[in-house]
Amino acid sequence: MKKTKSMNQMGEQTRPIFPFTAIVGQEEMKLALLLNVIDPKIGGVMIMGDRGTGKSTTVRALVDLLPNIQVVANDPFNSDPEDPELMSQEVREKKALNQPLEIINRKITMVDLPLGATEDRVCGTIDIERALTDGVKAFEPGLLARANRGILYVDEVNLLDDHLVDVLLDSAASGWNTVEREGISISHPARFILVGSGNPEEGELRPQLLDRFGMHAQIGTVKDASSRVHIVQQRASFDQSPFEFRETYADSQQELRGKILAARDCLPTVEIDYESRVKISQICSELNVDGLRGDIVTNRASQAIAAFENRTRVTPHDIFRVIPLCLRHRLRKDPLEGIDSGEKVRETFQRVFNFNGNLEEE
């Protein structure tokens, strides 16, 4: 029989987090992050923008909106007590033997990947000496284990070694991490939302790696003087009295949290008609997008935004809003090229969907 108890704020940040709903502007980045939370199978988001534009602040603010999840107590992989695909080997064995599992409620966590992290630190390592002497698979979990069922945030991802980025993307795509040392192999679930950020002045990722991020958000420095003043005032108010500032946004935070939960429940019922699917694939073909990731992500993101707005049918307007985020980073074939702003994608969308005016929601 299962024993369940509530974890008292365990795993939460020790310092107050800037409220997501208090962030001014950067709508493209906020939308991409919210859609990935609603449907993690979108495949994560790459955020590129100038220094000081709130990339890290926004990602950390997102975590504050996420719901609690049930996990098996004292399990380093945040194992789901019901889903075998999200369980460690030890938990699966206990389930098979009908042994009791202690279950706790924990906030979905965000794991930061340090820029200088080694592959062992990320993937985990096997204690070969203990394995040989004691005959056990002594595994020291890495950051991918902690990130299971959460968010893995990589700041300055464009400065990481390409091999390490490839490891992260492989795990994010498959949902599993496998560590092999001296003929010993250990696998564990590693299903997480991968969020990367970086400054384009410091270089872009190779097209082959960039393509594997579900969405790409571009953000820039706010130019409007009044908006800049508002942002500065918001930050000063938060720094002076963070708890009072958070209280001001408590209602809007709770409302957005409710919308996210409702959207996750609604998502399986959202439909996208066959004609729209064909047109999405036609756009991908005309833009010479390699593979089918662009088609899949655009379909998923369109359904997620419809669910977020509590609708069960995808409209062309939904597709129009998300398709630049899903395709713009898949157009670059030469590593020396810049990433399209999204205009080429929008122009192709307008032609394929026969739109030459204001796109009205159906």
Dihedral angle over CA of 282, 286, 292, 293, nearest 10: -110
List b or e across 305-329, with b for residues whose CB sees 16 or more CB atoms inside 10 angstroms: bbbbeebeebbbbbbbbbbbbbbbb
Displacement of CA 136 from its chain's centroid (Å)? 35
Q: Strand order in 68-72's β-sheet?
A: 3-6, 102-107, 68-72
- The rounded distance, in Å, linking the Cα atoms of 248 and 354 is 45
Question: Would residue 311 show up in a list of annotated catalytic residues for this protein?
Answer: no
Burial (CB < 10 A; 0-12, 13-18, 19+), residue 112, is middle
For 124: left if phi > 0, alpha if psi spans -120 to 50, otherwise beta; the answer is: left
8 A C-beta contact, residue 55 and residue 155: yes
In the chain, the domains with their CATH numbers are 15-66+108-219 (3.40.50.300), 267-352 (1.10.8.80)
Q: Give the tokens for residue 239.
A: 């720094």
Q: Is the torsion defined by CA of 107, 252, 28, 231 positive or negative? A: negative
Q: Give the three-class secondary structure for 6.
A: strand
Q: Give the three-class secondary structure for 229.
A: helix
Cβ-Cβ contacts under 8 Å for 270 (sequence gap 6 or more):
303, 304, 306, 307, 311, 312, 313, 314
> What does the pLDDT read at residue 22?
86
**Active-site residue (options: 106, 293, 300, 328):** 293
- The rounded distance, in Å, linking the Cα atoms of 351 and 163 is 39
Largest Cα–Cα separation, the chain = 72
- The rounded distance, in Å, linking the Cα atoms of 350 and 320 is 8
Tens place of pLDDT per residue across the chain (362 aa): 444 443 443 334 457 888 888 888 788 889 999 999 999 889 889 988 877 777 888 888 888 888 788 888 888 888 888 888 788 778 888 888 888 888 888 888 888 888 788 888 888 887 766 656 655 567 788 888 888 888 899 888 878 887 888 888 888 878 888 887 767 778 888 888 889 888 877 777 777 777 778 999 888 777 778 888 888 888 888 888 889 889 998 899 999 999 999 999 999 999 999 999 999 999 999 998 888 889 999 999 999 999 999 999 999 999 999 999 999 888 866 554 556 667 889 999 999 988 765 544 44
Which residues share a beta bridge with 107? 68
- The rounded distance, in Å, linking the Cα atoms of 248 and 232 is 17
Q: Give the tokens for residue 238.
A: 């938060």
Angle, CA 236 vertex, CA 230 and CA 240 arms, to 5°: 145
Listed residue (12, 99, 98, 114) closest to 63, CA to CA: 12
Q: Give the tokens for residue 297.
A: 């992500």
**Helical axes 316-327 vs 27-38, angle rounded to 10°:** 100
Angle, CA 150 vertex, CA 268 and CA 65 arms, to 5°: 75
- The rounded distance, in Å, linking the Cα atoms of 20 and 28 is 14
Q: Is the torsion defined by CA of 238, 240, 241, 242 positive or negative? A: positive
8 A C-beta contact, residue 331 and residue 302: no
Q: Give the three-class secondary structure for 103.
A: strand
Dihedral angle over CA of 309, 315, 320, 326, nearest 10: 70
- The rounded distance, in Å, linking the Cα atoms of 75 and 90 is 9
- The rounded distance, in Å, linking the Cα atoms of 288 and 86 is 36
